[in-house]
Structure 1
Amino acid sequence: MPDPVFLSRDQNQARGIARYTLDFLNDRLGEPDDAVYAKVEQFHLDSVACAVAALAAGMNAPVVLRQEALSYPVSDPSQGAALLGSTSLVAPEKAVVANSAAARELDANGTNFGYNPRTGDAAGEFGHNDFYPVALAAAQMQQWDGRRLLKAMICLDEIRGRLAEVFALKNHKIDHVVHGAIASAAVYAAMQGGTEEQIESAIGMTVAHYIPFRAIRAGHQLSDSKGASAAISTEAAVLSARRALRGFVGPADIFRNPQAIFCLMEPPGQPDLSPFDLQLSGEGSDFAVMQMHFKLGLYEHQSAGAIQGLIDLLCANPALLDDVGQLEKIRIAIYEPAFSIIGDPAKRDPQTRQSADHSMVYIIAALLRKALQQKRAGWKELTLVPADYDDQTLFDPLTRDLMQRIEFVHGGPEYDARYPDGIPTRVELTHRTLGVLGSPLVMYPEGHARNQSGRLDEFVAHKFRTLAALGVDDVDALLARFSGLRDRSPAEIRDLCNFTIQQP
């Protein structure tokens, strides 16, 4: 296995990330394996379907940010980037904030859990594949071909994914999007021809000036800020990069700065150290994106174990779907931090979509309602879509009744010790006729990087078609447009967003 780029805690890691990004993007570190290119393209395709569905459903934040972006038109192709489903060129930070918000709004695109099975790094920070619009915008402006575009996406996922393995922002009530913003600043600046010093300044400004806290994800009812958090932080990262490229000098050596978030939150115990070592892959197959996970519908990623357990029980016991009145209780045991995040008592009565898709009791009740109505179960049959979170469905009497039958508990140390390797969950159903039916401990549900069912491609393809069909007439054409990017010319990459999305 090729040796990674090792950035020790006693060196300037911001400068090291800058050097790594330039070397990787300019083919000085070797080449990722074909499987890595294929995986990042699959995640990008998935994010495009999520974005199309969000815009087609008229979700508020993506629509507002898209309208805002259109008020920043650009005529020079070297200075502007395209919005998804449009030929309009706008300021790159505005294209990024609008496109990233659309990809993220439904909370259905890819996820990382901050775990590296090879090194044992397990800080367990979350993160999502929200940041591909950064690479696309820069590639369009610089006339990069598809191979270089995908390599930039791999690089972006590598930086944010490895940071998530070594530093848990959530432990300090800081939003996980900071890791993605750092990666975005580095990749955008490098793609625009920045020097090591300029990239370091871009990273330093991003960290010193723009830190979002988890207030975005707390409260009785969540708002547009939850879904748009990555997009807004990435907009700031691109702005920081553009300023650095113009000559603005930001804070240097930000990871060892004693008053920046890293050393401030986790003091290393002696001067001139950061709290962590960092390893970044340059070639081969061991890239962070290969350990990232797919969601197979609209649900908070930590609920996937419960969804798997429920589907397994329903498939094994179809009589459960005969009479909902016979179902007395659904008991779900899970690990921390999932129990605190999606089991927050405030989320037992969600009033908004943003709260409902972070509510374990709502997600499971909505899934079970669909199964009872259809009299069948399975990942494809029960795919959760935007309509499962609209105002009418959110207050559906059967869903609300089922929510009251759900007991959600912390499984204790046995469960906590198994995270973030997996997402340990058990589901138990109490039925008047069938008795107590329990699932085995679910560790790697469908969509998880270590799931071995062999059905991932099938399920991801079904999800793509289901979501994309909400916004385009010809799903096959959309799939063809965003497939095979590695062989696309610069002109084709520039034209990638030129398709029509049906919007309300």
Structure 2
Amino acid sequence: MSDRLSRTLAEYAASVRWEDLPPETIHEVKRRLLDAVGVALAAFAEESPKAARAYAYEWPVASGATLWGTAFTAPADVAAFANGVMVRYLDFNDTYLSREPLHPSDVIAPLLAVAEWRGLSPADFITAVAIAYEIGVDLCDAASLRAHGWDHVNYIGIATAAAAGRLMGLSPEQIEHAIAIATVPHAAMRQTRAGELSMWKGAAAANAARHGVFAAVLASKGMTGPFQPFLGEMGLVRQLLAGEPLDEAALASLAERRPPRRILDTYVKYWPVEYHAQSAVDAALQLRSELGDPGRIAAIHIDTFKAAYEIIARDPEKWRPRTRETADHSLPYIVAVALTDGRVTRHSFSRERLQDPALRHMLESRVTLREDPELSAGYPEGIPNRITVTTTDGARLVREVRFPRGHARNPMSDDELVAKFRLNVSERLSPAQADVVVETIMHLESQPGLRHLAERWRL
């Protein structure tokens, strides 16, 4: 059933051992788990996570996986979806930018669900996460789905299926079947992120990961998947890439079975906004500090790069956002609220803030934006945004940021990441509970198992 691409992914997933992991990879997996738990708990009471949990509550299974924040357990694929929606909802989990953008920590909730359900060790889980990052990030370097109208979450499904197969001890052939089952029947369209955005923006990756878990379980029971899922006559390359071949040189780390390190190339978000706007927030807040009174703002001009323009500025809905999903993907809204409020938090996208007449007037009458070819040339190495504020007395204040805090070229320290976690859980966990979660996760490999791990952050 093989094609060389599915075989490369499967053999890589099956080959990596705990002993192969570099210490810095192990440490970074633990950092990303802590970050994922923090952003998930911050989103616990939001409407989309509540809807996903309501679905999961229909499927009680005593020996399943825990819904984060609760004592309820459900089948692994159901828990993968519910927990994954929480991780993704605030658009505050990590990112990678290349030919295709990705939120690679979308693999963490589903893989923890599988590991908990199967009674596996922390070492098994950490290894699986490192594998999934390696596969997902390399696929982003190899080909753009977005350029052909398909969504990046297809890569999450593939990476999750391969790593879940590894967790379950499947053979390379079985992992290939899992990859095929996750890939061919479940192609996700880019319409999820076009125009006005719905709750599904934050659920699409969780759904792809759920398919990955489902595919691995099916393959473990003997189900075979479509042959040649990538290179076949109607496979991914022809259907999702319009026949444009993947750059197989980008998959060299997989083909050569190198120890997984690509997690170190990915970025932790400092602000709860779409990643292409992270540097715009940094620039806007620097300007706000210099500006002082936002009442001095006469005009705001944003120079940005092509990918940011296409994803978070071009659609007319981005200039009149009506949902939080649209607003945290709106470059003009994000810059305007940062300059006005002097901060950007999850509350910046509340219904009340979206409907504020003064903020809407600013977007309509004072904000302009253009794609700058010079800035476009600096992507994806950096994410360059330049903000210019003209004041009521005619002064021009300019800031440009290329590598925002959290970028691989400007990484957050452990202390900063822990501070982000504490802020995210401050409305859900006591300081003492937060201390326990930090200590447990940052020393995860020494824990006796994963069965009761989520009890540490039960609300």
Instruction: Structure 2 unaligned segments of length 5 or more: list them.
Output: none
Structure 2 partner of 1:462: 419
Partner SS, residue 306 of structure 2? coil
Structure 1 partner of 2:303: 333
Partner SS, residue 330 of structure 1? strand
Structure 2 partner of 1:188: 164
Structure 2 partner of 1:33: 22
1:109 pairs, out of 93, 103, 119, with: 93
1:206 pairs, out of 157, 182, 205, with: 182
Deviation (angstroms), 1:237: 1.5
Structure 2 partner of 1:302: 276
What is the alpha-carbon distance in structure 1 between the residues aligned to residue 168 and residue 100 of structure 2?
Answer: 32
Partner SS, residue 358 of structure 1? coil
Structure 2 partner of 1:401: 361
Structure 1 partner of 2:248: 276
- Are 2:91 and 2:202, in contact at CA under 8 Å, matched by a contact in 1? yes
What is the alpha-carbon distance in structure 2 between the residues aligned to residue 361 and residue 456 of structure 1?
Answer: 29
Structure 2 partner of 1:361: 332
What is the alpha-carbon distance in structure 2 between the residues aligned to residue 126 and residue 416 of structure 1?
Answer: 19
Q: Does 1:229 pair with 2:204?
A: yes
What is the alpha-carbon distance in structure 2 between the residues aligned to residue 149 and residue 128 of structure 1?
Answer: 15
Deviation (angstroms), 1:267: 6.0
Structure 2 partner of 1:73: 60
1:451 pairs, out of 398, 403, 410, with: 410
What is the alpha-carbon distance in structure 2 between the residues aligned to residue 131 and residue 258 of structure 1?
Answer: 29
What is the alpha-carbon distance in structure 1 between the residues aligned to residue 304 and residue 316 of structure 2?
Answer: 15
Q: How does 1:103-252 map to 2 (within 5 A)?
A: 103-114=87-98, 123-219=99-195, 221-252=196-227
What is the alpha-carbon distance in structure 2 between the residues aligned to residue 401 and residue 264 of structure 1?
Answer: 43
Structure 1 partner of 2:229: 254
What is the alpha-carbon distance in structure 2 between the residues aligned to residue 192 and residue 321 of structure 1?
Answer: 56
Deviation (angstroms), 1:333: 0.6
Q: Deviations over 1:461-495 (max 9, x none)?
A: 332111111222232233233321122222xx111
1:417 pairs, out of 344, 353, 377, with: 377
Deviation (angstroms), 1:353: 0.6
**Counterpart residue identity of residue 46, structure 2:** M
Of the structure 1 ranges 386-395 and 226-235, higher mean CA displacement relative to structure 2 is found in: 386-395
- Are 2:69 and 2:454, in contact at CA under 8 Å, matched by a contact in 1? yes
Q: Does 1:471 pair with 2:447?
A: no
**Counterpart residue identity of residue 179, structure 1:** Y
Closer, same or farther: CA 268–446 of 1 in aligned 2, 3 Å = same
Structure 2 partner of 1:482: 441
Structure 2 partner of 1:370: 341
**Counterpart residue identity of residue 408, structure 2:** A
1:95 pairs, out of 63, 76, 79, with: 79
Deviation (angstroms), 1:166: 0.7
What is the alpha-carbon distance in structure 2 between the residues aligned to residue 484 and residue 329 of structure 1?
Answer: 49
- Are 2:336 and 2:359, in contact at CA under 8 Å, matched by a contact in 1? yes
Deviation (angstroms), 1:268: 5.9
- Are 1:86 and 1:499, in contact at CA under 8 Å, matched by a contact in 2? no
1:498 pairs, out of 443, 449, 455, with: 455
Aligned-residue identity in percent: 28
**Counterpart residue identity of residue 174, structure 2:** Q
What is the alpha-carbon distance in structure 2 between the residues aligned to residue 263 and residue 11 of structure 1?
Answer: 14
Closer, same or farther: CA 172–185 of 1 in aligned 2, 3 Å = same
Q: CA RMSD in A?
A: 2.1
What is the alpha-carbon distance in structure 2 between the residues aligned to residue 235 and residue 158 of structure 1?
Answer: 19
Closer, same or farther: CA 450–288 of 1 in aligned 2, 3 Å = same
TM-score, with length taken from structure 2: 0.92
Closer, same or farther: CA 345–63 of 1 in aligned 2, 3 Å = same
Closer, same or farther: CA 369–268 of 1 in aligned 2, 3 Å = closer
Higher helix share: 2
Structure 2 partner of 1:290: 264
- Are 1:126 and 1:176, in contact at CA under 8 Å, matched by a contact in 2? yes
**Counterpart residue identity of residue 63, structure 1:** K
Q: Deviations over 1:291-337 (max 9, x none)?
A: 1111112111101121121223334x2xx123x33211111111111
Structure 1 partner of 2:285: 311
Deviation (angstroms), 1:157: 0.8
**Counterpart residue identity of residue 186, structure 2:** Y
Structure 2 partner of 1:120: none
Deviation (angstroms), 1:458: 4.0
**Counterpart residue identity of residue 259, structure 1:** M
**Counterpart residue identity of residue 408, structure 1:** L
- Are 1:327 and 1:432, in contact at CA under 8 Å, matched by a contact in 2? yes
Q: Does 1:63 pair with 2:50?
A: yes
- Are 1:111 and 1:295, in contact at CA under 8 Å, matched by a contact in 2? yes
- Are 2:288 and 2:339, in contact at CA under 8 Å, matched by a contact in 1? no
**Counterpart residue identity of residue 12, structure 1:** R
Partner SS, residue 131 of structure 1? helix
Deviation (angstroms), 1:350: 0.6
Q: Deviations over 1:262-313 (max 9, x none)?
A: 23344668xxx866341236556x7211111111121111011211212233
Structure 2 partner of 1:3: none
What is the alpha-carbon distance in structure 2 between the residues aligned to residue 363 and residue 459 of structure 1?
Answer: 22
Structure 2 partner of 1:50: 39
- Are 1:334 and 1:425, in contact at CA under 8 Å, matched by a contact in 2? yes
2:401 pairs, out of 442, 445, 459, with: 442
**Counterpart residue identity of residue 147, structure 2:** N
Closer, same or farther: CA 500–22 of 1 in aligned 2, 3 Å = closer
Closer, same or farther: CA 128–367 of 1 in aligned 2, 3 Å = farther
Partner SS, residue 438 of structure 1? strand
What is the alpha-carbon distance in structure 1 between the residues aligned to residue 186 and residue 237 of structure 2?
Answer: 14
Instruction: Structure 1 unaligned segments of length 5 or more: list them.
Output: 1-9, 115-122, 372-381
Q: Deviations over 1:356-384 (max 9, x none)?
A: 1111111112222222xxxxxxxxxx2x3
